Amino acid sequence: MSLSNNTIARTYNKLFVELADPRTNDWFLITSPIPGLTIIYLYLQFVLKWGPRYMADKQPFQLQKTMVVYNFLQVLVSCWVFHEGLDAGWLRTYSWKCQPVDFSNTPEAIRVARGVYIYFLAKMTELLDTVFFVIRKKERQITFLHMYHHTVMPMISWGATKYYPGGHGTLIGVMNSFVHIIMYTYYMFAAMGPKYQRFFAWKRHITTLQMVQFCIAFLHSSQLLFYDCGYPRWSVVFTLPNSIFFYYLFYDFYYKSYKKPEEAKTNGQVNKENGLKDHPKIGNGTNEIKYQSDEKKIK
């Protein structure tokens, strides 16, 4: 038993102390994976069980002012991360082909590491997106894509902060922050009410932008297969499949949300031109009898 405990202790020490970046390892929520995983576990329990059960016999919360303030703060954080990522690296010293992590204690290296850490904290606060959906009874918004994204991103960004806070992989966070600037701005306007209705047309373009970011992330991460700069090549085992999977999920969402309604509208127009009503029961025999009856009356 003692030998087993020693093995577990050594493994834990190896994974979460020795391999960790000493500059970030003592930062809040980074030292151990347990606090972060506990938050995610409680989040899933609330979203899937506790929240719906609590709201079952209650009216949905409105939270208009809360949503405006929350989305505004998310925009500010995303702007800061986006600016830091460009100014501290990608527009100045970083290589677009292959960029290693600077593990030194220089102000520039610490600045990048801090940006990665703030990005991680932002992913944790974004769990509130789903909490607000639950208490506002917006269950249709809680899709598999939504849950997968909000569960996986905090874990990925935690790992980046603990082990590789900088370098090649940070471009994904910079692009994602840019997308979130636009996305949370849209949500903020949507929360302000109908008078901002003209801004709602952004939604489908935000989804397109998200798909573009995953294409860029895939191509950018793929460069690690050809260039060696010290950044871990094994990271492509996570980044490439994840980029493909995210792209597929967002494309599926885009098709179901925007393409299908357009096809249904087009088909409905064709049916009207052919003298048929755009009705979901067409083809089951009921409406066919009605149309035949109408034709007899016309004759």
Residue 149 a catalytic site member: yes
CB 171 within 8 A of CB 98: no
CA count, 13 A, side-chain hemisphere, 60: 11
CB 135 within 8 A of CB 60: yes
CB 87 within 8 A of CB 111: no
**Distance in angstroms (rounded) separating the CA atoms of residues 169 and 218:** 11
Q: Determine which one of 146, 149, 180, 220 is catalytic.
A: 149
**Distance in angstroms (rounded) separating the CA atoms of residues 115 and 117:** 5
**Distance in angstroms (rounded) separating the CA atoms of residues 196 and 180:** 19
Residue with tokens 């929350």: 70
Return the SS3 of 277.
coil
**Distance in angstroms (rounded) separating the CA atoms of residues 46 and 38:** 12
Q: Which of 238, 51, 231 is nearest to 131 (CA)?
A: 51
DSSP assignment of 228-246 equals: -SSS-GGGHHHHHHHHHHH
CB 191 within 8 A of CB 71: yes
Residue 208's contacts (CB-CB under 8 Å, 6 or more residues apart) are 254
- Residues belonging to the active site: 149
